[in-house]
Chain A
Amino acid sequence: MTKTMRTLPSLTLAALFGASICLAPARAHADDELPEKERGMYGEHLALVDITGMTASGTRRGAGDVDYTRKAGLAEFRIGGFFEEDYFKTLIGLELQVALGYQASNAYGAAPPPAMTMPGEPTPAPSAPYVDPTSGFYMRGDVAFTYGLVRWRSILPGRVVLGAGGGFEAGPRLRGGEGGQGYALLFGRLQLWPSDLLGLHLTAATTVGSYRLEALGSIDGWTLGARARFINPARDDLTQERQLEAIVGLMF
């Protein structure tokens, strides 16, 4: 990935974030309210229980690159809410998400092609086999302070939320073996409420080296969504993985 490609998303996000802040006067939100049906759902407070199916594809680095796929299923619980406003009417809140999943072993594609040898030369030793990540349970926990930066009511009510915190995940590692690691977490979320019953929640998140995009739609609390996760997309020397998840859940 070129430097420009890495820089462009950052600049675009910064410009959108800056514009939404700059265009909002300090005390512009005194009278606004959240849509009635979203109260207690994904409005001021939220609780989401969902089950998720995940399919992953990636490229392992080592003695020759090998593509693989993997499937997993997980259950998630997300809870959070805003509990006060600051001077700029920014909503201040907290959000917690825990996930417990089970992943199958990697299914590898074609083996690396054998090295070319000249007639009469000894055949080189075969490449060391990949250490397959063990199939097994894994868990992930995120906690973040959330800031409802800007919200509006006209035409299409909505809100922009910034989240900052950290998380911990434990289970099979991408490079083999098992273990756990902590990470910092930063996310931005655009929420739209086309009607009292309908909510749309788009989230872009980043941790060190990985990115996550999530789209959730809810109708009277019933929720469908999709999530894509990109691990090490800018590192050609590390195992790279793309995950796609389908989400079914209930907000209350």
Chain B
Amino acid sequence: MTDSETETSGTPWFTGTRRRLGQYYEIGAFIGNTGSLGVSGRSSQSPQMGVRFMEHHGLITKFTVGLLAAMAASGDRVETGRTVQRTGDYEVTTVYSRRKTDGEREADREMVAGALSGEYVTEFVLYTDGLFGAGAGKADRVRGGDFYLGGNFAGPFVLDLPSIFDIGLVYSFNHASDVLFDDGHRANVEFVNFGLMVRYQVPITTLVELLAQIDLNVYGLLSSKKENTVHGTPLRLGAYLNLTDRVYLRPMLTYTTGTSGLGKLVEAGIRF
């Protein structure tokens, strides 16, 4: 973090979206109902509770991405082709390769260095059966989770506070068992998303920030429809209500394309 990034003005209790220029962590617990499992034939949404963890420009993701990049860059040879010969019951595969050139080795080193110098935002949302001893045992409760990995950059400033664009990959798997339909039958329902997340967070004051988010479901666009499986794209609208810089409430509305109903949840959490 640079000196200019650590500069703050006013009370140290409220710095608003300036925090999004630095490194920090966010842990929250939420309760509500999902907006992703509203398949045709249901008049109610599945209850949902769980925990959300966000690492903002942190080291865990940096180490993980750096490790993956190093694994991808490992090896001193490049495969140039392969042939397969079948003789009776035998199959012989011949792999042709060459040594990496100096330019390719340098590119590998730059890729690893770039991965380690990146600033990432990772969010992990886990749906749980219960929370602090409450809520366990509801049959059609949402299970599964959401995972986001990406980065961010500052947009236009509002009242001396930066607005923030987040962009990244999203993977979601939500499911609920024995969901009761309006005609009385029960079935399992699931939602799968693998695609691109784009979010815009705009400050109103240091106390209130609005955010709009789309989890574009690329997998859903490319896959065929199945009964009771949702492949829609969630559109989310929410806000951060900062009680201090370290304590927040986060109400969120979610509408998923191709479903009925609106998901509503509220999260309470801390930052450190």
Binding site for B on A (CB under 8 A): 3, 6-7, 10-11, 14, 18, 21-22, 24-28, 84, 86-88, 90, 92, 145, 147, 149, 162
Contact = CB atoms under 8 A, between A and B. Distances in A.
**Which residue, A18, A24, A26, A27, has most C-beta atoms of chain B within 10 A?**
A26
A27 B59 contact: no
Contacts of A10: 132-133
B272 A149 contact: yes
B60 interface: yes
Contacts of B243: 22
A18 B270 contact: yes
A211 B76 CA distance: 46
A2 to B, nearest CB: 11
A7 B24 CA distance: 29
Interface residues of B, number: 26
Nearest to B134: A7
A211 B206 CA distance: 40
Contacts of A3: 133
Given A7-B133, A88-B271, A145-B59, A27 B12 contact: yes
B21 to A, nearest CB: 8
Nearest to A27: B12
A25 B244 contact: yes
Contact of A21 (B23, B58, B272): B272
Nearest to A94: B59
14 contacts: A18-B247, A22-B243, A25-B13, A26-B12, A26-B19, A26-B244, A84-B23, A86-B24, A87-B21, A88-B19, A88-B271, A88-B272, A90-B24, A92-B23
Given A87-B23, A149-B272, 5 more contacts: A14-B132, A21-B270, A25-B13, A26-B246, A86-B25
B13 A26 contact: yes
B247 A21 contact: yes
Given A11-B132, A26-B244, A87 B270 contact: no
Contacts, number: 72
Given A7-B133, A14-B132, A145-B59, A90 B270 contact: no
A87 B247 contact: no
Interface in B1-38: 1, 6, 8, 11-13, 15, 19, 21-25
Q: Is the interface of B mostly helix, strand, loop or mixed?
A: loop
A145 to B, nearest CB: 6
A90 B25 contact: yes
B245 interface: yes
B246 to A, nearest CB: 5
Contacts of B8: 26-27
A11 B132 CA distance: 7
A22 B243 CA distance: 9
Nearest to B53: A164
Contacts of A7: 132-133
A205 B229 CA distance: 40
B132 A26 contact: no
B12 A25 contact: yes
A22 B19 contact: no
Contacts of A27: 8, 12, 15
A3 to B, nearest CB: 6
Nearest to B59: A92
B128 to A, nearest CB: 13
A20 to B, nearest CB: 10
Nearest to B246: A21
Given A18-B270, A22-B246, A87 B22 contact: yes
A147 B25 contact: yes
A86 B246 CA distance: 13
Interface in B68-109: none
A24 B246 contact: yes
Contacts of B25: 86, 90, 147
Which 10 A-B pairs rank lowest in CB-CB distance, beginning with the nearest? A87-B22, A26-B245, A86-B23, A7-B133, A27-B12, A25-B12, A87-B24, A90-B272, A21-B270, A25-B13
